[in-house]
C-alpha cells in the first residue's frame, strides 16, 4: 500500500484506465484545445464589441457588458450539479452535447434582436461551458498513461490562453470589420466543424457505474483536493483583483494610455510558459506550483514597491504572466491526480471555484479601488498569495513531490 492509498482513495474503473503507450493522441488533444478556444471566445468576445452590441440592441454598454456576467453565472451555478447528474453517462456523447450547445446559443445570439433572449442564451452558454471545462481535463488524462497526464492536460488547455492572447483581439478586429453578429455566426459554424473532429478523433469512455461513485462530499474530502482548491482559489482571486483594474493601477506611471500594450506583454508571457509547463508538470508538479506562486508574489511585491516606474511595471507584468500562464494546467493536473477515477467531479469543483474566484476578485478589487485606491491592489495580492504559498508547501497530498 502506498502512502496515499487510504480509505478515501478513489476507485479506478478498469474500462477507463488510460493507455500505456508513450505517444500522445495529439489530434484528440488539439480537438479538446479547440473546444476551449471556442468556449473562451464565446465568453469574452462581447467585451471587445460592446459599442457595436449596445448600439444594435439599443441598450447601454453597461447592460451589454452583462452578457459576460450572465455567462459567468451560468458556469458558476451549473458545473457541479451537471457533473453530478451526468456522472454515469458515456463521455463522448456528453462532450459533444456540451459543444453543440455553443452552436445553438451563438446562433441565437447572432440572430436575435431581443436583449432578454440573448441574455438567456448567454446564461446557457455559461452552463455548457461549466460542463465542458469539467469534462476536458479528465477526458485528456484518460487518453494517456498516468505519467503523461500533465502534458496531455497542458495541450488540452492550450485553447484558453491562445484565445485570450490571439483569438479575442482577432475576433474584435473581425467584428469591427464585418459586424458582431457575423462574428458570432462564424463561431457557430466553427463549432459544427469541431463536432465532426471530436467524433472522428476522440475515443469514447464509459461513465462511472452507480455503485462505484463517491458522493461529491466524499470527493471533496479526498486527500489533496482541498489544498488544490484553496491554492487555486487564492491565485485566481489575486490575479483577477489586479487584472480587472490594471488601467487605474497604471495611471501613476503614465502607462494607462498603453494598457493594451501592457496586457499584450502579459498575454505573450502567459502563452510562452505553457510549453515549459507541459514538459515539466508530470515530473515537477509540486516544484512548479511553489515556484509560480512565489514568482507571482514577487511580481506583486515589485509592482507594490515601484508602481510608478514603467520599466518595473513591465518587468512585474512579465513575471506575473509567466507565473499565471501555467495555472490552469498545474491546478487541473493536481486535481486530476488527486481525484483519480473521480476526476470529473473534482474538475467541476475546480470550475466552480475558478469562476467564484474570478467574480470575487472583480468585486474585491472594485471595493479596494473605491476605498483605498489602485496602489493598494498589489499589496492585497501579496497578502492573498502568502497563505496560498504556505498551504501549497504543506499540502503534499495535493502537490506531491513525485507523480503518483
**Tens-binned pLDDT, residue by residue, of the chain (404 aa):** 333 333 333 333 333 444 444 678 999 999 999 999 999 899 888 877 877 888 999 988 778 878 877 888 888 888 888 888 888 889 899 999 999 999 999 999 999 999 999 999 999 999 999 899 888 878 888 898 888 888 888 888 888 888 877 887 788 788 888 999 999 999 999 999 999 999 999 999 887 765 556 677 778 788 889 999 999 999 999 998 888 788 788 889 998 888 778 888 888 898 899 889 888 888 899 999 999 999 999 999 999 999 999 999 999 999 999 999 889 889 988 888 888 777 777 878 888 888 788 778 877 888 888 889 889 999 999 999 999 999 999 988 889 886 54
If DSSP codes are grouped into helix, strand and coil, which group holds residue 202? coil
DSSP letter at 206? -
- pLDDT, residue 239, reads 92
Total domain count, the chain: 2
Cα–Cα distances in angstroms (integers) from residue 233 to residues 22, 227, 331, in the given order: 33, 10, 10
Estimate the crossing angle of helix 149-156 against helix 26-48, to 10 degrees: 40
The CATH code of the domain that includes 112 is 1.20.1250.20
Q: Are 238 and 101 in the same domain?
A: no
Q: Which domain holds residue 255?
A: 216-394
Q: Are residues 166 and 197 in the same domain?
A: yes
Distance (Å, whole) CA 231 – CA 223? 14
236 and 98 inside one domain? no
Domain boundary among 196, 212, 228: 212
Of the candidates 203, 333, 356, 343, the one whose C-alpha atom is nearest the C-alpha of residue 281 is: 333
Query: Could you tell me if 372 and 314 lie in one domain?
Result: yes
Could you tell me the end-to-end alpha-carbon distance of the chain, in angstroms, rounded to an integer? 12
Write down which residue in 157, 179, 212 finishes a domain.
Answer: 212
Determine the pLDDT at residue 72.
Answer: 83
Does residue 375 share a domain with residue 270?
yes
C-alpha grid cell, residue 313: 511595471
Q: CB–CB of 227/289 below 8 Å?
A: no
Number of residues that this document lists for the chain: 404
Q: Are residues 42 and 73 in the same domain?
A: yes
pLDDT of amino acid 163? 85
In angstroms, the Cα distances linking 241 to 189, 359, 399 are 35, 9, 25
Residue 19 forms part of a structural domain = no
SS3 216: helix
Q: What does each C-alpha distance from 65 to 122, 164, 260 come to in angstroms?
A: 11, 17, 19
Q: Is residue 12 part of a domain?
A: no
Note whether residue 9 is domain-resident: no
Last residue of a domain, one of 194, 212, 230: 212
Examine the domain organization and report whether 208 and 224 are in the same domain. Answer: no
Three-class SS of residue 394?
helix
Residue 403 domain flag: no
User: Is there a domain that residue 196 lies in?
Assistant: yes
| Full-model pTM | 0.76
- Assess whether 234 and 298 both reside in one domain: yes
5 inside domain = no
Both 201 and 271 in a single domain? no
Vertex 124, ends 111 and 207: CA angle to 5°?
Answer: 130
Distance (Å, whole) CA 18 – CA 95: 18
User: Does residue 323 share a domain with residue 267?
Assistant: yes
User: Distance between CA atoms of 320 and 327, rounded to whole angstroms?
Assistant: 11
Q: Is residue 380 part of a domain?
A: yes
The set of residues, in sequence order, having a beta carbon less than 8 Å from that of 259 and lying 6+ positions away, is: 246, 247, 250
Position 15 in a domain: no
Same domain (yes/no): 65, 140: yes
Residues 44 and 80 in one domain: yes
Q: Which pLDDT value is given to residue 378?
A: 95
**C-alpha angle 196-81-212 in degrees, rounded to nearest 5:** 85
Amino acid at each position: 500500500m502506498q502512502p496515499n492509498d487510504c480509505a478515501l482513495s478513489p476507485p479506478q474503473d478498469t474500462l477507463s484506465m488510460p493507455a500505456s503507450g508513450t505517444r500522445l493522441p495529439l489530434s484528440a488533444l488539439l480537438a479538446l484545445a479547440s473546444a476551449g478556444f471556442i468556449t473562451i471566445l464565446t465568453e469574452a468576445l462581447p467585451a471587445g464589441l460592446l459599442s457595436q452590441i449596445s448600439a444594435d440592441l439599443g441598450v447601454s454598454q453597461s447592460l451589454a457588458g452583462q452578457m459576460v456576467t450572465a455567462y459567468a453565472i451560468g458556469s458558476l451555478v451549473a458545473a457541479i450539479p451537471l457533473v453530478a447528474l451526468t456522472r454515469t453517462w458515456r463521455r463522448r456523447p456528453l462532450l459533444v452535447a456540451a459543444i453543440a450547445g455553443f452552436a445553438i446559443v451563438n446562433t441565437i445570439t447572432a440572430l436575435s434582436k431581443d436583449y432578454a433572449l440573448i441574455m438567456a442564451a448567454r446564461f446557457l452558454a455559461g452552463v455548457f461551458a461549466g460542463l465542458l471545462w469539467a469534462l476536458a481535463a479528465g477526458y485528456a488524462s484518460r487518453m494517456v498513461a498516468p505519467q503523461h497526464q500533465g502534458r496531455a492536460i497542458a495541450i488540452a488547455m492550450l485553447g484558453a490562453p491562445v484565445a485570450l492572447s490571439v483569438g479575442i483581439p482577432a475576433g474584435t478586429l473581425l467584428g469591427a470589420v464585418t459586424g458582431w453578429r457575423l462574428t458570432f455566426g462564424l463561431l457557430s459554424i466553427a463549432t459544427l466543424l469541431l463536432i465532426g473532429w471530436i467524433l472522428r478523433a476522440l475515443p469514447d469512455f464509459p461513465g462511472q457505474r452507480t455503485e462505484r461513485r463517491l458522493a461529491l462530499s466524499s470527493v471533496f474530502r479526498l486527500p489533496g483536493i482541498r489544498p488544490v482548491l484553496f491554492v487555486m482559489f487564492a491565485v485566481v482571486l489575486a490575479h483577477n483583483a489586479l487584472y480587472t483594474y490594471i488601467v487605474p493601477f497604471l495611471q501613476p506611471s503614465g502607462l494607462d494610455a498603453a494598457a493594451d500594450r501592457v496586457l499584450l506583454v502579459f498575454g505573450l508571457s502567459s502563452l510562452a510558459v505553457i510549453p515549459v509547463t507541459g514538459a515539466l508538470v508530470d515530473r515537477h508538479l509540486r516544484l512548479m506550483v511553489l515556484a509560480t506562486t512565489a514568482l507571482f508574489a514577487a511580481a506583486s511585491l515589485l509592482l507594490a514597491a515601484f508602481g510608478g516606474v514603467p520599466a518595473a511595471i513591465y518587468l512585474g507584468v512579465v513575471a506575473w504572466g509567466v507565473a499565471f500562464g501555467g495555472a490552469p494546467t498545474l491546478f487541473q493536473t493536481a486535481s486530476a491526480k488527486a481525484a483519480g477515477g473521480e476526476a470529473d467531479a473534482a474538475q467541476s469543483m475546480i470550475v466552480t471555484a475558478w469562476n467564484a474566484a474570478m467574480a470575487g476578485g472583480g468585486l474585491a478589487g472594485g471595493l479596494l479601488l473605491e476605498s483605498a485606491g489602485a496602489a493598494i491592489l498589489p499589496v492585497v495580492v501579496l497578502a492573498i498569495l502568502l497563505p496560498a504559498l504556505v498551504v501549497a508547501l504543506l499540502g503534499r497530498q495535493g502537490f506531491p513531490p513525485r507523480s503518483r
